[in-house]
Structure 1
């Protein structure tokens, strides 16, 4: 049996099941009835069905994980595709645990899209099994990465609960300065989510269309005591609005009449991939804003305000409790995985416990942020909206650590962005 093909099919099946489970969760809170049934009974019935589908999807993804591990010869956490799919799996495990405790169907409406987006984001990267570099050839790979991802998964559930709390409690009809500030905060958070959706959709679309643009960058390098000219090819999968610094356009597919870049990246973006990354950021922001604006135009009201009615039956105190408990569970797990086990592994791989690598620094920032969250929650009584905002901001920091640091900032962890 080709285990890698089987694992790929299992991941696809789990992705489809998660999408269906999300739709069933939506049905469970829609408030509609069939055959004059009680809406509350209707909600419980569809909620149980959605939860069952979520468990089935998780079983399929576990099959993907272990068959890829068996077929590839090592735990599938060595690159961005493998890590992000595992993170999605961990979020599902955390969601299933939290849902089993609180039985809140609306949590699935917010948690399932996070899982779907993360798995879709993983599909942007090459999915081939790659040999482990020396730094990854350690049993600490299994311990460090899995526990760190498990902690981040509970942070994701806390983020979903925090966003739900804000949408439930923010006064979208209010005209005061504080009301408007909260409304803008919710809309900005939703805009970030739309940017992620736009990024994934644009990469899928242009890849499917076979779009490509290539630039040649020539560099002088010292080799064997002599200086030699080396040419490197920088390939874009999105139309190049911005060209890399000091490169020559080799080929470019025309897009909407654009047959050359609009401008060149500034000189301080001198890395071979800096211009491409900057171009990706530009497309992500432009398409995210466009997608948000179109939906806002269709709804004719702020998106948060449009979502708010489905939250009316939720008890804000329950949402606040779910967010806090999720982070309280995730924090010690993250501490073990992202700091303690990571430092042990760093000593094994590089001969030092700490080296101020960008990924290490941002992992520390995440840890300190949630330490402040728990301190303010327990010692200062920060509950409700203040706690929810911290949960939302915290997970945005987590996502920057996972995505921005791996793909934008060069460091010892850059291999994970391959």
Structure 2
């Protein structure tokens, strides 16, 4: 293990993060400026779009440098835990964006893809960043093939999601008052709220982490063996967020004061037996609370729904172009995901556990994701679902992808639980 290379790798990742942030801001200037400039809007957008793309591309180069230096310094491909995989997924989304940009050259796609990358990179930084030794199941070259191909397929789904969301903001008229229009407006705003909740999660985690908050519980776990003997194990559970839900059957060992909180408000239900189930439930609740607070602040500042604020900036964009880009992007991702998440995954599963399929939660949700996008392509090609219907399918599909990636690893128990460590 090469510590100097790993240090350089971490620095390169941080540089990539800030360049992605700068690229997102630059794309915002590109789109907003083209709307309000007194000069030729097309020339303005072309010049600033090129600047934004170069900044984003530099971030991608730094991200690639992080990936390969961590690989060389750590001794294995950096996709074996949540930190490494999420960072790799963000890199693949940027690669997918580069491919799509090379084909269509639409600056507005960057305005919606770059913030998604920024959020995913920031999310990866929540997890432990140390290089961990590979468990036996991961010591296979099929791991490299399976993970990289599946992540690339999911990355194209992500760009398809960003384009579909942009399409919805373009076609949903926030000035209409009809019941159908209001329903579409509400659903678009719900998607915005989900995005803000993701930001709220990052705000809460990094905020309390910066404050050095910590709460420690001692939890007793009682199991009964086949012989009828009670085995009692004592575990220490460390929280980095104030405990709204404390572990089941636990006592406070040490807790920092927060608005007078000296114990958990509620006890986690006993039937939640997943790995760190109490801490994860507590994190989800905090994410929702922080996200809703952030959303309330945004609404107070904007004085209108987020979708209604973004809608005017989409005028002048051809929704049919967005529909085509979203479809073609997902069409590229579908065979990649099929190979990576199903075919190569089953080969790896046979090598690691001597069976192709075992109904592990991760396997089940990978299959659900594949079936969903199969239905998407069927409805589009055979049933003529274009426009708004197709866009909603693409948006919902990526929500399914994110649950497969994050929810399964962090909420459900299975053979892939190691990835949440």
Normalised to the residue count of structure 1, the TM-score between the two structures is 0.97
In the TM superposition, residue 100 of structure 1 has moved relative to its aligned partner by 1.2
In the TM superposition, residue 215 of structure 1 has moved relative to its aligned partner by 1.0
The 3-state SS of whatever aligns with 2:418 is helix
Out of 280, 287, 312, the position equivalent to 1:277 is 280
Inter-partner Cα distance in structure 2 for 1:144 and 1:121: 22
Inter-partner Cα distance in structure 2 for 1:219 and 1:308: 52
In the TM superposition, residue 249 of structure 1 has moved relative to its aligned partner by 1.4
In structure 2, the partner of 1:395 is 398
Inter-partner Cα distance in structure 1 for 2:35 and 2:160: 31
Inter-partner Cα distance in structure 1 for 2:335 and 2:37: 48
In the TM superposition, residue 230 of structure 1 has moved relative to its aligned partner by 2.3
* Deviation digits for residues 358-413 of structure 1 (CA, Å, limit 9, x no counterpart): 00000000000000000000001100000000000000010011111000101000
In the TM superposition, residue 337 of structure 1 has moved relative to its aligned partner by 0.2
Inter-partner Cα distance in structure 1 for 2:287 and 2:37: 45
The 3-state SS of whatever aligns with 1:31 is helix
In structure 2, the partner of 1:96 is 98
Higher deviation after alignment, 243-252 or 314-323:
243-252
Structural RMSD (CA): 1.7
In structure 2, the partner of 1:382 is 385
Do structure 1's residue 318 and structure 2's residue 326 form an aligned pair? Answer: no
Inter-partner Cα distance in structure 2 for 1:25 and 1:271: 41
Inter-partner Cα distance in structure 2 for 1:228 and 1:350: 29
Q: Verify the 8 A CA contact 1:234 1:272 in the aligned structure 2.
A: no
* Deviation digits for residues 147-199 of structure 1 (CA, Å, limit 9, x no counterpart): 00000000000000000000001021122221111111101101111111111
The 3-state SS of whatever aligns with 2:127 is coil
The 3-state SS of whatever aligns with 2:213 is coil
In structure 2, the partner of 1:134 is 136
Cα distance change of structure 1 residues 132 and 179 upon mapping to structure 2, 3 Å threshold: same
Cα distance change of structure 1 residues 344 and 249 upon mapping to structure 2, 3 Å threshold: same
The 3-state SS of whatever aligns with 2:394 is helix
Higher deviation after alignment, 391-400 or 30-39:
30-39
In the TM superposition, residue 266 of structure 1 has moved relative to its aligned partner by 2.0
Do structure 1's residue 191 and structure 2's residue 193 form an aligned pair? Answer: yes
Q: Verify the 8 A CA contact 1:244 1:276 in the aligned structure 2.
A: yes
Q: Verify the 8 A CA contact 1:244 1:272 in the aligned structure 2.
A: no
The 3-state SS of whatever aligns with 1:387 is helix
Structure 1 segments unaligned to the other structure (5+ residues): none
Q: Verify the 8 A CA contact 2:156 2:329 in the aligned structure 1.
A: yes
In the TM superposition, residue 228 of structure 1 has moved relative to its aligned partner by 5.0
Do structure 1's residue 245 and structure 2's residue 248 form an aligned pair? Answer: yes
* Deviation digits for residues 82-132 of structure 1 (CA, Å, limit 9, x no counterpart): 000000000000001101111111111100001010010000000000000
Inter-partner Cα distance in structure 2 for 1:244 and 1:251: 14
In the TM superposition, residue 267 of structure 1 has moved relative to its aligned partner by 2.5
Cα distance change of structure 1 residues 304 and 229 upon mapping to structure 2, 3 Å threshold: same
Out of 64, 69, 72, the position equivalent to 2:71 is 69
The 3-state SS of whatever aligns with 2:33 is coil
Higher deviation after alignment, 295-304 or 158-167:
295-304
Higher deviation after alignment, 213-222 or 76-85:
213-222
Q: Verify the 8 A CA contact 1:27 1:43 in the aligned structure 2.
A: no
Inter-partner Cα distance in structure 2 for 1:371 and 1:34: 42
Q: Verify the 8 A CA contact 2:409 2:417 in the aligned structure 1.
A: yes
Higher deviation after alignment, 168-177 or 119-128:
168-177
Structure 2 segments unaligned to the other structure (5+ residues): none
Out of 251, 266, 270, the position equivalent to 1:267 is 270
Q: Verify the 8 A CA contact 2:112 2:162 in the aligned structure 1.
A: yes
In structure 2, the partner of 1:416 is 419
Cα distance change of structure 1 residues 177 and 347 upon mapping to structure 2, 3 Å threshold: same
The 3-state SS of whatever aligns with 2:232 is strand
Cα distance change of structure 1 residues 383 and 271 upon mapping to structure 2, 3 Å threshold: closer
Higher deviation after alignment, 244-253 or 27-36:
27-36
Inter-partner Cα distance in structure 2 for 1:321 and 1:330: 14
Normalised to the residue count of structure 2, the TM-score between the two structures is 0.96
